[in-house]
Amino acid sequence: MKTTENENIEIEMLLEAIYRKYGYDFRSYSRASIKRRILHRLAISRLKSISELQHRVLYHIEFFEKLLMDFSINVTEMFRDPEFYKTLVKEIIPVLQTFPYIKIWHAGCSTGEEVYSMAIILKEEGLYDRTQIYATDFNEVVLRQARQGIFPLERIKDYTYNYQRSGGKESFANYYTAKYDSAIVDQSLKKNIVFAGHNLATDGVFGEMNMIVCRNVLIYFKKNLQNHVLGLFKASLRHHGFLCLGTKESLMFTEHENDFEAVAGKVKIYRKKIKTLENEASI
């Protein structure tokens, strides 16, 4: 029992130390996953305890950067959950069509696969030229990769399959060039995407979005941080703006449950209500 108890205390202190020293706030991340990552880093670094690891983190920024990579969620794929993209085209795109200019915030974009997927959908629907996509992540390393838009060629088979199941209208090969063992995304997909650093735990609002996409990020957060981030999204969306979460994420039992209504419940696409609680209070 002692070990676990001590480890849990050490983890809290480590996360506190990281926050104070480097400003990254992992204190409200779901603990089980964070703990696995810390213990993994501990094992491969041949350190004896989390306290020892904390010392390394404080005194060696390179070591902290390694841990930061461990903590960031870097697993993604193009057209993950084809059903989501299919629904997007059917239900959401027709609404977005009515706007002269569209702003989309992709929060927690990681290495960018899902951002480029969105760009492809918008292009095929004739919307890309009047869209600005802000793609953000707290991790500068993954953002750099996202900006490059170079993906392992071995994944293309899966991506093509996903693309086809998403209702893609072209040949997926039109969107990349194969070079050695890499697939380089078509340059034209990049022109309206801005990749930028933003930390959902500590940074502020992005204004007047028509749509926010944040998929499989909230599952890593504890309830309080989920509420904080959903509040941030609510404030960043226009009235009736869309919020797209991961297929296994939900607004149920969060503080913001009543500020949104489900547009496509199965794939977790919501719309901000015109009357949210604060608005009502101010009327």
Collapsing DSSP states into helix, strand and coil, what is residue 28? coil
Which of 45, 148, 192, 250: binder of another protein (CB under 8 A)?
250
Rounded to a whole number of angstroms, the minimum distance from the CB of residue 202 to another protein is 22
Stretch that binds another protein, among 29-37, 124-132, 135-143, 228-236 (CB under 8 A): 29-37
Query: Is there binding between residue 36 and another protein (CB under 8 A)?
Result: yes
In angstroms, rounded to a whole number, what is the distance separating the alpha carbons of residues 115 and 109?
7
Query: Is there binding between residue 179 and another protein (CB under 8 A)?
Result: no
In angstroms, rounded to a whole number, what is the distance separating the alpha carbons of residues 106 and 88?
14
Residue environment code for 44-78, b if the CB has 16+ CB neighbours within 10 A, otherwise e: eeebeebeebbebbbeeeebbebbbeebbeeebeb
Which of 26, 134, 195, 220: binder of another protein (CB under 8 A)?
220
- Of residues 68 and 96, the one with the C-beta less far from another protein: 68
DSSP-assigned states of every residue in 54-117: HHHHHH-HHHHHHHHHHHS-----TTSSHHHHHHIIIIIHHHHTT-SSEEEEEES-TTSHHHHH
Stretch that binds another protein, among 68-76, 119-127, 140-148, 194-202 (CB under 8 A): 68-76
Which of 10, 19, 27, 31: binder of another protein (CB under 8 A)?
31
Rounded to a whole number of angstroms, the minimum distance from the CB of residue 153 to another protein is 19
Stretch that binds another protein, among 55-63, 69-77, 199-207, 230-238 (CB under 8 A): 69-77
In angstroms, rounded to a whole number, what is the distance separating the alpha carbons of residues 282 and 60?
50
Rounded to a whole number of angstroms, the minimum distance from the CB of residue 216 to another protein is 5
Query: Is there binding between residue 216 and another protein (CB under 8 A)?
Result: yes
The answer to whether 192 and 119 are in contact (CB under 8 A) is yes
Rounded to a whole number of angstroms, the minimum distance from the CB of residue 245 to another protein is 11
x/- mask, another protein, residues 133-172, rule CB under 8 A, reads ----------------------------------------
Under rule CB under 8 A, how many of the chain's residues touch another protein? 21
Stretch that binds another protein, among 49-57, 61-69, 117-125, 248-256 (CB under 8 A): 248-256
Q: Could you give phi then psi for residue 251, rounded to 5 degrees?
A: -85, -10
Which of 10, 19, 22, 35: binder of another protein (CB under 8 A)?
35
Helix (H) or strand (E) holding 7: helix 2-22
215's tokens: 């998929």
Check residue 149 and give left, alpha or beta (phi > 0: left; psi -120 to 50: alpha): left
Contact residues toward another protein (CB under 8 A) are 1, 4, 8, 30-33, 35-36, 73, 75-76, 216, 219-220, 223, 246, 248-250, 253
